[in-house]
A and B are shown apart, each in its own frame.
Chain A
């Protein structure tokens, strides 16, 4: 059965810290790995990763995929209180279905 597992489930840091969120996946006919940020509303798209070893960056956020070991990480440097959210990882199969992990709840304290 397809599954995506995220760790840690929750994390509390202080502003300025760097965090690493983990995502491992087992998805049949895997196509891509997606990261979303969810505040008190719908998930907003962060990254889509399809190739191993190629880092994607957007400001203080970056992510990389390892298709051999079946995992991805999301890094956030110099965290800010506005980074507080649930971060969702999802594996996409070639049928278009997204399998989501449980999410990591990040709280950034001032």
Chain B
């Protein structure tokens, strides 16, 4: 069974641009959540989707948004990028036993 798949793995963007990150959960998992990891703040929850609906949202500005498709794949978008958005963005999917598995992450550098 394939794990959580995230694309792209690495990307560099310029301040003011926007970025879209993609995540395919483990087959059969319907819940997808996103986390931001930085050296200063650690791992912080962004949002969670289940059956195409956002169920929970962390304390991030509106520039951070996401969505989930009918096949459970999810995307997150960050608009008007700032230097502080440089981070590892992790996607996770949850099984019916509520165990959460992470993808390899997308490393975003904003210059």
Contact = CB atoms under 8 A, between A and B. Distances in A.
Do these two chains really belong together in a complex?
A: yes
Contact of A96 (B56, B101, B102, B104): B56
A95 B45 CA distance: 12
B100 A45 contact: yes
Contacts of A88: 43
Interface in A47-81: 48
Interface residues of A, number: 22
Nearest to A1: B59
Contacts of B48: 95-97
Contacts of A102: 42
Given A41-B104, A41-B105, A103-B42, A97 B58 contact: yes
A100 interface: yes
A101 B35 CA distance: 13
A32 B95 CA distance: 14
B94 to A, nearest CB: 6
A98 B50 contact: no
A95 B49 CA distance: 11
Given A97-B48, A97-B56, A98-B33, A92 B100 contact: yes
A98 B102 contact: no
Contacts of A98: 33, 35, 43, 45, 92, 100
Contact of A92 (B58, B98, B101, B102): B98
B98 A48 contact: yes
A106 B48 CA distance: 30
Interface of B: 31, 33, 35, 42-45, 48, 50, 55-56, 58, 90, 92, 94, 97-105
Given A92-B100, A96-B48, A97-B56, 4 more contacts: A45-B101, A97-B48, A99-B45, A102-B42
Interface of A: 31-32, 34, 36, 41-45, 48, 88, 90, 92, 95-103
